[in-house]
Structure formats: C-alpha cells, structure tokens
Chain A
C-alpha cells in the first residue's frame, strides 16, 4: 500500500487508524525501553513541584480569608449549639413522636410506621446521642445547602451567561472527591464540626442547584408567558408562578441534597473531634469491633432510609392528603407517654437492646472466619494473584514461581507478543483490523501492567479514544489533562487509581450489565433486584466498608469489593431501563418479522439501549471514583491514599493536586463515555 492509500483508508476508518497508531506508539516505547527509560516513567526532573506551588498559593489565599472563615465559624456555632441542644436535649419520646407524626403528615400510615420504627431502632441501639449529633449537623447544613443551591440555580436560570459557567463548575464539583474538600476547609475553619458542616453544605448544594435549574427550565413556556402577560414583574413571575410550578423537580433536589449532606457529614467524621455516628463507625472499625461498627452502620442506614423515603414522598406530584386526626392522635399519644413516663424516663445511653446482636455478629464472624478463613483467603488470593496483580504490574512481574509455578522470562514476553502479533495479523487478514489492533493493545497492557504503562502509549491511546468520541477538541482536552497529571508528578499514583477503578468498572459493567439484562428479560428478577438497588443507593458511601472489612481485612481486594457494591447500581438500573423502554412499535415490527424473544433482545432492544447503557456506565465510573477515595480508608494505594494522607497532615497542596488529578481522571472518563453515548444517540437519530 502506498502512503496515499494508507491515508485515505485512515480517513475512512478513523477508529482503526487510531488503534493502530496507539499500537505503534506502544511498540516503539517498549522497543526503546532499554535505551530511553524515560519513555516508561516520566523523568522526575521534568516534574513540576506543583503541589508545593499550589500549596503555597492556596495557603496564602486561605490565610487572607481565614478571619472571615473564622468569623463564619463563630457565627455558625450558635445555630449548631442550639440545634444540637434541641435534638439531644429533647426527651426521646417527643422526638420519636414528632418524627412519626411528620411521617403521617407526609405519607400516611406507611411513613409514620417507618419513622416510628426507624427511630425506635436507633434508640434501642444505644446510639441515640451520637445519632442526634449527626442529625444536628445535617439539620444545620441542609438549610445552608438548600439556600446556596437554590440561589445558584435561580441565578443560572436568570442569567444565560452565568448558566454555562455554573454548569461547568457543577460538573467539576461532582468529580472532585469528597475528602479533597476537607483539607483546605480544615485549614480555614480549624478542627471541629464546622468543617463537616461547611463541607456537607458545599457537597450538597450542587444537586439542589441542578434540580432548581432543571425544574425552572422545564416549566411549560405557556405558563411563563401567561405570567408575563398577566402583568407580573420579574420577581412576581419567578416567585408566584415559576418556582411553585417547578416544585416537583425542586423537591427531587431537596431529597438529593439531604442524602448528600448526610453522606458527607458521616464522611467528615474522619476529621474527628465530634462525637457523631460516623466517628463511632470509624472508631469501632479501627478497633476491629465489627459487631459494634456493624450496628452503628445499621443506624446510619436506618437514618438514610427514613430521610430518603420521607423527602422522596414530597417529590410525588400528587400527594394524597392524610387525615389530620391521625396527626393529632400521634401527637396526643406522645404527650400522654411523656406524662406517664416523666419520672421514669430511661436515659438513652442505657439502651443496649442490640448489644447481644453485636456480640453475636462478632462471635459468628469469628466462627465463620475460623472455619472458612482458609477458603476466603484462597478465593481472595486466586483473584489477587491471577487477575489483580498481573493487571497492576504486568505478567512480566506478577508471574512468579511461588504463585504461578513458574517464572516469567523475557523469552516468554517475546513469545507472548509474537503469538499476539500472529493472531492480530490473521484478524487483519480477515478484514477485522479493529479487533486486531485492540488485541495487540490488550496484550501490551497485560504484559506491562497498567501501573507501568509507558506514558506516550497512554497519552496516545486516550487521545485516540477522545478523537473517536468527540473529535479533535475532545482529544486535545483529554491529552492536556493527562499532561497536567504527568507534570504534577502524580502520574504513578494516577495509574494505580486508574488500575483499581478500571478493574472495578469492568467488573461492574460485566456483572451489572448481565443483571440488568436479566432484570429486563424477567420482571420477577427485577422485582427482587429493584429493592436491592434502592437500598444500595440509599446507603452512605462510608457504610460499604464495614461488611467487606469483616470478611476480607484491609487491602486492595476489600476496596475493590466496596467499590463494586457501590458502583454497580447505575449499571443495573440503566441497562434495565434502556432495555425495557424500546418504543413499542419497534418491538411490534420485530415480532411481525418473526424474531424470537432473544433475537428481539439482541437485534432491537440492545442496540436501541446502547446510549442509555453508556450513560449508566458513565455513572458507574463516577461512582467508582467517588468510592475509590473513601476506600483509601481501608488501604488502597494511588491518588485516594494521597488525598487521605494530605488530610492527615493538613497538607493543602498535596490534597488539592491529588484531588484535582482525581477529578481530571473522572472528567476524562466522563467526557469520553458521554462522547460515545452522544455519537450513538445521533446514529440512532434520537
């Protein structure tokens, strides 16, 4: 083939060209590895001391605003003190009664029961005071977040120029890991609950802002025009018509805001200094008292469910009105109980109804590990030695005689590559050039290991993906982001993060996709899976660590499991949703063409669902990154660990650079997948 022929071929099939170019770059790097070692590892002379500079810069800025922050902190002390005093000081029967009554008011018997039983469980667990401390933080941070998010949303809606800036910021904020917020806040506000408060307000404001904006934009244009033509001023239009018309969507924002705030308040417990339920989990986890930490985790889950279901009921457009008499009855009963028990009210700390449960859990866990520990370890080791390690450090380093039974030699590498090359060549011969190229890429990754990939290869590969997903602009921006990570000196850690989240995402995609397919094919299966998904999505991030620690101790494998448990849900949901929302006329057309159920599934439903499934994958990736940082608590290497370390040492520079690197990785993944999804949507004419 002449150069011109090659060029026209590449123009016609950009994907193939991109893959083969990547293969060439990879082969080039490996071939010259011995001569130019800097092709594999970025030379440290070229690393910029970015974290030092950023640290110095940010610290200087933070120092100047510190007085304001401290003033704010001082101001916030009052509401925090009083809410705390109110929640902790109120006798528990009154609190339980009020929550039950609230449940009745919002959603009748079902929610009243949920509220009453939920809080009773909390009381019985003996964690009442800690729970109320947590709740107090949530209660102060949520109004702040609602106000902040609401104002941002309205501002973005009112001003088109602000809008795109706000949306971009929200995108970025969604990808910045939670722990990364904490370090600068720590410097600003000093140790104490205010950091958790502010962090959770910042973390919970974006969903509110998004939903306010979305709701306002979705108000029927005729309604907006009607408000104008009725002679309302802009203020009247907004507050009398548009915001009330958008209530349903805004309530979705309130629900998400509450859940985010709860999640963050619990995460912020790692700072310590506040006797809340998150701290309790952390403490017991560190002491390996799994029974107790399981119990505390349960309390958190109960809280999350009560808050989620109650605020979720508010998002239903047409709520049934419940009989007021029920409300009065519950309140009356509460007062009666108070009067009767006044003198003999047991202290909340005295409740320990579940302590037997905790010790039972401890004991049976002990028994279980004693009996099955070997099997569990074997299971773990097989996965670690034969899948995780090779992916991480490559076959060349992971294949050792004491695990695999033989030692990997350079000769084997050569043979491995030769086999791959022959296979690829035969694929190319059968006109499957793309598959051939991808095979070679996979072989290269497997032999070298993700954490030791040559950087030009990664840059080229990601750039090629960007090119295919969104053209030159996207390719350029993702490569620039990777370059920034390279220069910052966080490259190796970034690759480690990429490796773990990559493995988790692949696992989630495979398993979640299969489960989604199953749920789409069988309504029965969905009826079982759906509450599980609901549950997993309600549980705050932190709690996922408890069960995996119970069985697999600290380490990468536990982190992997925790990430999967959290990140698999969107994949299942979106797959199921995408596969079941095929337009009925398409299905009818397939049926009348004589397709069987499975043919319809593969040839009609799946192709039609691809954009939706890709969005699910996107969410899964973002979830995996979010959890990756939390999982640093139970021992992962990579950027998450750096962020966590930075928090411990109050190292603002490292915290921010590592957080930014993490956010960039997430952004790259997000943009690439969105690009592919968009392309598919266009191809399907959606």
Chain B
C-alpha cells in the first residue's frame, strides 16, 4: 500500500451521488433536507419516490500509483460509480478531483483533452469497434487526437506487443477470442499514455484460466507503468490478488474501504463478511493484525521461531510449528508404524489449500 499522506491523491471523490430518474438533482436536494443530511435516509426517500440512487455519497481518495479495487454484487452501483469518475455520465451531486482538477467543472473540450492525455478505460464487454482492425482499434485514441497514420501505427505496435498480440495487428475483432479481444481493449486504453486507468470488470467475461493469465499480465503491465488504477470486479479472489485497497459497495453505498487484510479480518458487517467467507484468512492476514502489544506481553515466552509483523498467518503458523520435533504415527491396532514432523504437516496442508484456492470459481 502506498503512503497517502505525503503526496496529494490522484483521485479524490467527495460526496458523489448518482441518482437516476426525473428531476434527480432537485429530488436529491429535497430528500437530503428531509432526512437531515443522512445519506441512507435520503436514499430510502428517493427509492420511495421511484428514483434510483445508484451511487450514494461516495467519498474516498485514491493515491497516486495505487490500485484501488471497487467490489460489490451485481447492481450495487460499481459501473455507475466508475462512469461518474470518468464523467461518462454527469453526477447528480458531489465533487471529483482527478490530479488536482475538478473534472465536474471541466468544459467539454477540456474533458476531451483529459481523455486523450490522462484517462484510460477498459470495458467489461470490450467495446471494440467492429469495423476496425486490431491496430486501428488500438490507435484510435491517437487518431482522434490528430496523429498521422504511420506515426500512430508505429507507436501502438509497441503496446500491441506488450499485450501479446504481435502478429495479429490486421485481424478484426470478430476474428479474435474473448481473451484476445480484451487485450485489444487494454492496449487501446494504454495508447494515450494515460496516468489514471479505469477498468470495469475487464476479466469478468472471460473463463477462469484466461482470467488468471490476464491478471498476471495485468500486474506486470502495471508494475511497468505505475499508473493510478481504479479496478472493478465482483470476484473477491481477483480483488485480493490485485488490490492495494478495496472498497465494498452495497446498493449504491460504499460500506467499507480497507486493505485486503482489513476486509478479510475485520469485515464491518455480514455483507462484507459473506464476500470473504470462502477465502483462506491465513493467506491474506498479517501477523500484525492478530498480535497483542504493550502491557499484555507475558514475561516468559517460548523459543523464538523468528516471526515478523508483516508475515501472513500461514507463514507464521508454519514457522511456529517448525519448533516441534517429530511425533509417532500408529496404525489401527495402536502399533507405531512411522513418524512425522508437524512442520511437514503444516507445509503439506497449506500446499493442498493452495491447489484448492477459490479463483477457479465464478
């Protein structure tokens, strides 16, 4: 996780509302007044009147270079939130700053410029232009900003190679597999050298194997580019694997923001806990989160297995168990037939858990 105190946030979102329906702005103001400013009450009032408060009072900062994951069930408002951030739709209320600029006040021309230079976006259903070849799709952001044909093709060849599509430049979207299509989508969003990158469930439409492969490639690309990323998913494994921090949404409301460990170990409510139910806590939680500090420290402690506060629980357990010597193993009649070391047991168990990791599940 990046330290957020020293540098100003890349994205800062304050009290953003997105309400669908007639007269949304006015209705929202009224509802807020009636509920005394409480967002949940206002949302309920709006729903009663038949409006849809798809995003309610979203407030969070994303630090520069951070990978911020938004998670939630289908219909919880994730796409709506990211569309507000990229101003694909006008927020009903609130303030959104991207790299210090209030984008809700930016003019149309300025937004176009920002999208050409700063913002990149990848879509769940790829959004590839069916009438353009791979290279033209990828080079499209450069084309609209007025770059000449050979220059832009030259430039995007590099990116196409980076996403592993070298040699398929002249193919059309319909000739590609799902995984390849999303690579094109990723390449296109990178063509403009963006520094803020939005991805709306980029891997959800893909099968699990391809998904994991693309996740790894995505992390590689990310390490190379160091952009600020807002990533949407409804898959907890994906979120835990990628995220610096995770925001969990429910019915338009952000219910918790925290590091993967915080989400797994200290869910604020059942909804959040339900997400991480199938996740092996030991893999994501660190020793620091369960250790006792200060006066509670007992005087005489056993031997030191060499734990550090940032070890995962799994690793710490394995280290502790290594202090034990081998123990006997008996058959059904009670005769000793062999020995086993507890350390060996724990390592094998964890390996097994590794193979059964959720992630192959939808």
What residues of chain A have their CB less than 8 Å away from a CB belonging to chain B? 220, 222-233, 236, 240-241, 244-245, 247, 318
Contacts and interface: CB of A to CB of B under 8 A. Distances in A.
Given A222-B126, A229-B120, A318-B174, 4 more contacts: A226-B121, A230-B115, A241-B129, A241-B140
A244 B129 CA distance: 9
B266 interface: no
Contact of B188 (A220, A226, A228, A247): A226
A222 B129 contact: no
Interface residues of B, number: 33
A218 to B, nearest CB: 12
Nearest to B116: A231
B336 interface: no
B141 A231 contact: yes
A247 B132 CA distance: 13
Between A228, A230, A247, the greatest number of chain B beta carbons within 10 A of the residue's beta carbon is seen for: A230
Interface in B152-196: 174, 185, 188-189, 192
A314 to B, nearest CB: 14
Nearest to B124: A222
B113 interface: yes
B112 A233 contact: yes
Contacts of A247: 131
A223 B114 CA distance: 19
B130 A245 contact: yes
B88 A231 contact: no
Most chain A beta carbons < 10 A, residue from B117, B144, B145, B185: B144
A229 B115 contact: yes
Nearest to B109: A233
25 contacts: A220-B125, A220-B127, A222-B124, A223-B128, A223-B130, A225-B83, A225-B123, A225-B127, A226-B123, A226-B127, A226-B129, A226-B185, A228-B115, A229-B86, A229-B121, A229-B198, A230-B116, A230-B140, A230-B192, A231-B116, A231-B192, A240-B140, A240-B143, A240-B144, A245-B129
B119 interface: yes
Nearest to B121: A229
B127 A223 contact: yes
Interface of B: 83, 86, 88, 112-117, 119-121, 123-132, 140-141, 143-145, 174, 185, 188-189, 192, 198
B121 A231 contact: no
A304 to B, nearest CB: 30
Contacts of A318: 174
A222 B145 contact: no
A240 B188 CA distance: 15
Contacts of B198: 229
Contacts, number: 72
A396 B125 CA distance: 68
Contact of B144 (A222, A224, A230, A244): A230
B206 to A, nearest CB: 15
B89 to A, nearest CB: 10
A226 B185 CA distance: 9
A226 B184 CA distance: 12
B128 to A, nearest CB: 7
A358 B14 CA distance: 83
A232 B121 contact: no
Contacts of A230: 115-116, 140-141, 144, 188, 192
Judged by DSSP, the binding face of B is mixed
Contacts of B113: 231
Contacts of B112: 231-233
A244 B131 contact: yes
Contacts of A231: 112-117, 141, 144-145, 192
Nearest to B172: A318
A510 to B, nearest CB: 44
Given A230-B140, A231-B192, A225 B129 contact: no
B129 A228 contact: no
A225 B126 CA distance: 10
A664 B128 CA distance: 45
Nearest to A233: B112
B192 A222 contact: no
Contact of A225 (B88, B132, B145, B192): B88
A638 to B, nearest CB: 46
Nearest to A231: B116
B121 A225 contact: yes
B101 to A, nearest CB: 15
A254 to B, nearest CB: 16
A317 to B, nearest CB: 9
A222 B141 contact: no
B228 to A, nearest CB: 16
A229 B119 contact: yes
Nearest to B89: A225
B131 A222 contact: no
A319 to B, nearest CB: 13
B123 A222 contact: yes
Nearest to A245: B130
A481 B188 CA distance: 55
Contacts of A245: 129-131
Contacts of B127: 220, 222-226
B167 to A, nearest CB: 22
Contacts of A244: 129, 131-132
A244 B128 CA distance: 12
Contacts of A241: 129, 140
A368 to B, nearest CB: 56
B147 to A, nearest CB: 11
A230 to B, nearest CB: 4
B137 to A, nearest CB: 9
B128 A229 contact: no
Contacts of A228: 88, 115
Contacts of A232: 112, 140, 144
Nearest to A232: B144
Contacts of B124: 222
Contacts of A220: 125, 127
A223 B121 CA distance: 12
B139 to A, nearest CB: 10
